[in-house]
A and B are shown apart, each in its own frame.
Chain A
């Protein structure tokens, strides 16, 4: 158990819908990262937050957004969902003094 929690574990929804994925980092970790894992793209970095502020963006679509709240949990919002958004979405967290990232169990999103 990495100490990073993600909810829900599975999500099935229809095209055009909007969903929210939630992540709680390890205790004491200020940074939260979101990654997408799909069969065709592999593991891709989406976005990083540090202590509530966005710090880096990767291959994140405009339909996707994220935020980190004062209690340091983070949410990834995916809207106008398409079939191609079906993937495993991971959250990771790390401490400032080091850059090891610990991953949560992931949320499997299926868009039908």
Chain B
């Protein structure tokens, strides 16, 4: 069965400091990997995705993530955090191709990021 683990429930970071959020997954095949962000009271916004190719992917808002197959990880990073990055971040895994039998995403438990001034 597929699963996603985000080991850090909360992270506090100072504004301007770097941020790294961890994500480990378990999936039967090579997965399609995503990071979503949820600001307070908002829906889920897609930050970036990894499908294939270059294992370092760039997303919106200055975020990047690196896929490491050997470690089953897809960690999210940002070099310099802004106060507006305070939010909850979710890692998700799903099938790489559209399947007739279904295409659900499996989400991690989320990491809440607090930004200190």
Q: With a CB–CB cut-off of 8 A, which chain A residues contact B90?
A: 43
What is the count of residue pairs linking A and B with beta-carbon distances less than 8 angstroms?
64
Contact B97 A99 (CB under 8 A): yes
What's the dominant secondary structure at chain B's contact region? Answer: loop
Residue A65 interfacial (CB < 8 Å): no
Contact A106 B43 (CB under 8 A): yes
Contact A104 B43 (CB under 8 A): yes
Query: Which one of B36, B102, B105 lies within 8 Å of A55 (CB-CB)?
Result: B102
Residue B27 interfacial (CB < 8 Å): no
Report the stretch among B13-21, B44-52, B68-76 that lies at the interface.
Answer: B44-52
Residue A98 interfacial (CB < 8 Å): yes
Q: How large is the interface on B (under 10, 10 to 19, 20 to 34, 35 or more residues)?
A: 20 to 34
Contact A42-B110, Cβ < 8 Å, known A98-B98, A103-B36 = yes
Contact B46 A102 (CB under 8 A): yes
Residue A58 interfacial (CB < 8 Å): yes
CA distance A96 to B98 in the complex (A): 6
Contact B109 A31 (CB under 8 A): no
Q: How large is the interface on A (under 10, 10 to 19, 20 to 34, 35 or more residues)?
A: 20 to 34
Residue A2 interfacial (CB < 8 Å): yes
Q: Which of A77-105 contact B (CB under 8 A)?
A: 90, 92, 94, 96-105
CA distance A105 to B43 in the complex (A): 4
Contact A99-B32, Cβ < 8 Å, known A56-B104, A58-B104 = yes
Q: With a CB–CB cut-off of 8 A, which chain B residues contact A55?
A: 100-103
- Shortest Cβ-Cβ A-B pairs, 7 listed: A56-B102, A103-B44, A43-B107, A45-B104, A105-B43, A103-B43, A55-B102
11 contacts between A and B (CB under 8 A): A31-B103, A42-B109, A42-B110, A48-B104, A56-B104, A92-B44, A97-B98, A101-B34, A102-B46, A103-B43, A105-B43
- Interface residues, chain B, CB within 8 Å of chain A? 32, 34, 36, 42-46, 49, 90, 94-98, 100-110
